[in-house]
Structure 1
């Protein structure tokens, strides 16, 4: 089902078990892209599904996927971070229930939101994306990072003697794991 308006009635969506899907350009999420490099034509793909369980509890299942352009804080080069997020939100009718931590023992804790006849779906999607952005974005390995010269490892092996592993090789092996 496509979204004609960015607002939904959480009661109806959960009662009927409806599903909404959309593709939204990242530039439409002003809070998300503020201070970030240009996102070009990148978009967020999202789906929202309502559910009501046998106990009458209502849930929203949100899934969001996007390739977000960020700036590496080590080398300052732009890179694309793939965000794939999903969350399960319990829809509650009273503000007092938002902080209620009672639940079935062994059940995973769930975030709660207040039920609404007019919930902004795109704001919910944007919130999920914002939560997925790392506080300090960086490459796993920067593309222009200097590599140690080959003779550094060789020199360490010569000092440790024949047949003994280099202490630096051992540390390098730990770092890779």
Structure 2
């Protein structure tokens, strides 16, 4: 492995402007077809990264809890849906349910998720490094590049592919 992940967070912050421009470039003709590279880059990134060592996502951002997520998680913890919402969730400015605190109330001291088997879809799909959302939603990818080392890794690898 090269040193992409060495001091990745500092590099992501330093390269914010360039990364934002690169992600915008992926929206043009030059970025066409890049989504086909994502599954392999995703697997490569996670061959070097252990989420349990980081948990940056769970410590800083909240997933959206959609109705099926609330139903599943509430059942998993043995609560009624309304009690689950009242205890753990709030409505954000976009009208989505999100957790009330950061870090996530379901994150334990060893960075394990206490509702892992019933976690929301956003958690299951994060960090979107293997899907078209990585390219399609550049503002979220840009933000995630400073939160998740896998996003930064995939972004750096894509820069070598898309010139």
Instruction: Indicate the structure (1 or 2) with the bigger Cα radius of gyration.
Output: 1
More strand by share: 1
**Same fold, judged at TM 0.5 (above):** no
Bin for the TM-score computed over the shorter chain: under 0.3
Q: Which has the larger helix fraction? A: 2
